């Protein structure tokens, strides 16, 4: 069971993207909060830039975590 739990933890960490992924998810949440506060018309262009950056950061985190070796 321990091996299964370790594998599950590793897969979850890869799906989230590790530390970089958590940062990207936070950035994405902040942009969603900006839309709620100021409206979509006000933040449309910055929203596209932030969402593009957060997807890129998340992708890098996923690649980094998938290549990391487990102890």
Model pTM score: 0.81
What local confidence, expressed as pLDDT, does residue 53 receive?
A: 94
Looking at per-residue pLDDT, the higher value among 1 and 36 belongs to 36
pLDDT of residue 70: 60
pLDDT digits (tens, 9 = 90+) for 4-60: 888 898 889 899 999 999 999 999 999 999 999 999 899 999 999 999 999 999 999
pLDDT at 71 over 60: no
- 3-class secondary structure for the chain? CHHHHHHHHHHHHHHHCHHHHHHHHHHHHHHHHHHHHHCHHHHHHHHHHHHHHHHHHHHHHHHHHHHCCCC
pLDDT at 6: 87
């Amino acid at each position: 069971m321990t091996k299964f739990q370790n594998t599950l933890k590793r897969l979850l960490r890869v799906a989230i993207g590790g530390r970089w992924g958590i940062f990207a998810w936070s950035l994405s949440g902040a942009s969603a909060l900006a839309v709620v506060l100021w409206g979509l018309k006000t933040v449309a262009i910055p929203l596209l830039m932030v969402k593009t950056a957060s997807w890129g950061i998340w992708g890098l985190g996923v690649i980094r975590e998938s290549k990391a070796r487990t102890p």
